[in-house]
Chain A
């Protein structure tokens, strides 16, 4: 329980292969585990350690530095209300207070039905559309209190499922590095100048 699925192990090995040094895949693999479980389980961290060749403590050491990795279960929808300076000036604090009242939890908490976690967050880079928030890192901007309540109703009723995947899923498009077309990971022990540098002339000969 809590380890990466067989399918995700295949994905994980492909991700590790993108990097010259396997440890660079540590953060991407923590995201992959969080996508599978909704949070970063101890078993997943131990599994990632095996795949990357480090200790579970090293995985925890890295993961615990980053705000997005949840070391305890969170709601299906994590709502981050921005209260940084631009949103502070334009109603972000009031929006967070309203969110606490609507959901019946304080910032930092999760609803009893495990549907929503609420956080007061630092700048999410949507300042010209303040006040704003993210649900599972999808933007909702220029929100009124009524707009917030409508969003919660929609999420509860499953009407935003297309737009907002469950917590843990970030990009729904995976980069494909086609073995036929990829240049490959560049080992730091290379030592040689790349061919287009060594050639000493333009890579593309000027046309006739």
Chain B
């Protein structure tokens, strides 16, 4: 990794990466390389302690879930009702959020690290079986994990009597068949039970209490679990010493769109800012062709958009949340000043309309209405009142158009489609006016802080 200074503060790229440490090796997916670089030492360290102490160590690390919702993993484990057996562990490797491709990297390039993390979780919570659910479209990840599981079983790391102890668990590789909604944990469980991937109502179906086959089930994201071997070797305290108050440790960010060098970077929470990520030479090196920045999505397609004035925010859940958006899945999508924001909003909304499972009316109807109205505007058939109608539909999907969003649906997919609309309409109204050929007025109130952010004087947006 590179060290250096940028805009007066030290970049943390000289910080030893945690979960991408082996990415430099072409054979990082093999057991031989994994063992030669400290592999399965975290499992040994875990098995040398009582399961509840392992869970305590992870809780002490304050490891936030890396899937998008950002719930502390150790706390989630604690929600399993005592005395109810068997329990299951399910790995969420159904990464499909537009702009996100960190879990795919972890599964393809370091599958043993993930398997080791799964085993540590199974030992700590007392899971009798684990299921590793990989997105259907990721054939190479499936191959690498299948090969790694076969190697790990032959070496005695997975299966009966692991490392000669009384700890026994199978990790079953399973893959999906193309459905974004299955990344929602209760939909994933439905899918794993052989059903259509439609979310369950919470409560009562919190997976830790009533999950797979109605039993207590821990569903954790790939990146979350990949951190566990390091935490077991180095301690939860060492992990919690990294990062910021509201977000401990390191995090993978996938940066795409109009930057010079898009990529996936593991950076320390809180120390690094969006400006570092987008402009620093060691990361993306700035906007393509020397263009200006128009907007960026800070944390996946569901996140309210950010602008120039948000660039110096640290990559930290608390600060980003206060500004009215989220780090979500760690996907940063950058749009330069040539971007047509009406078309960009349409493209994000189309995703949610296509991926709605159809269970809840506000989402099923609302997202497709939003897509159709935007398409009409883009096709030159839009009317001035269509823009207010977009907000009105948003207000019905997520009343108040606030942040965090209110929900009229079982899962957050529907409310996710509100962000791109509210962002585009509130900030780039002139672009809608150009499409509809007349001034636009809106009557629906919008509350989210990022939606109502005003461009600073002279920002030139």
Residues of chain A having any CB pair with chain B under 8 Å: 18-21, 23-28, 30-31, 52, 54, 61-63, 65-69, 80, 83-86, 88-90, 122-130, 134, 136-139, 170-178, 181-188, 190-197, 199-206
**Chain A residues positioned under 8 Å from B139 (CB to CB):** 136-138, 170-171
Looking at the assembled complex, report how far the CB atom of B196 sits from the nearest CB atom of chain A, in whole angstroms.
Answer: 4
- Let me know if B109 is at the binding interface, CB within 8 A: no
Contact indicator B256/A20 (Cβ below 8 Å): no
- Residue of A with least CB distance to B88: A186
- Residue of B with least CB distance to A184: B170
- Most chain-B Cβ atoms within 10 A of its Cβ — which of A31, A123, A138, A173? A123
Give which listed residue, B47, B49, B85, B160, contacts A190 with CB less than 8 A.
Answer: B85
Known: A67-B178, A182-B160, A183-B129. A122 touches B355 (CB 8 A): yes
Contact indicator B177/A122 (Cβ below 8 Å): no
Contact indicator A194/B176 (Cβ below 8 Å): no
Looking at the assembled complex, report how far the CB atom of A110 sits from the nearest CB atom of chain B, in whole angstroms.
Answer: 18
| CB neighbors of A among B39-69 (8 A) | 44, 47-51
List 19 extra interface pairs beyond A170-B175, A188-B86, CB under 8 A: A18-B172, A20-B213, A27-B191, A54-B194, A62-B195, A66-B176, A85-B297, A85-B348, A122-B355, A123-B351, A125-B104, A127-B256, A130-B256, A171-B146, A178-B159, A181-B159, A192-B85, A196-B168, A203-B162
Contact indicator B176/A27 (Cβ below 8 Å): yes
Give which listed residue, B47, B128, B137, B194, contacts A68 with CB less than 8 A.
Answer: B137
CB-CB contacts of B100-112 with A at 8 A, as 1s and 0s?
1101100000000
Interface of B is mostly: mixed
Known: A66-B176, A68-B178, A178-B153. A85 touches B170 (CB 8 A): no
User: Bound complex: CA of A203 vs CA of B85, how far in Å?
Assistant: 19
- Most chain-B Cβ atoms within 10 A of its Cβ — which of A90, A127, A174? A127
- Residue of A with least CB distance to B255: A128
Contact indicator A182/B170 (Cβ below 8 Å): yes
Give which listed residue, B86, B149, B196, contacts A65 with CB less than 8 A.
Answer: B196
Contact indicator A125/B95 (Cβ below 8 Å): yes
21 CB-based A-B contacts, threshold 8 Å: A18-B172, A28-B174, A65-B197, A69-B177, A83-B347, A86-B257, A86-B333, A88-B344, A90-B257, A122-B96, A122-B98, A123-B99, A127-B98, A127-B254, A173-B147, A178-B154, A181-B160, A190-B85, A195-B166, A199-B166, A203-B47
Give which listed residue, B128, B193, B351, contacts A122 with CB less than 8 A.
Answer: B351
- Let me know if B343 is at the binding interface, CB within 8 A: yes
User: Bound complex: CA of A24 vs CA of B154, how far in Å?
Assistant: 25
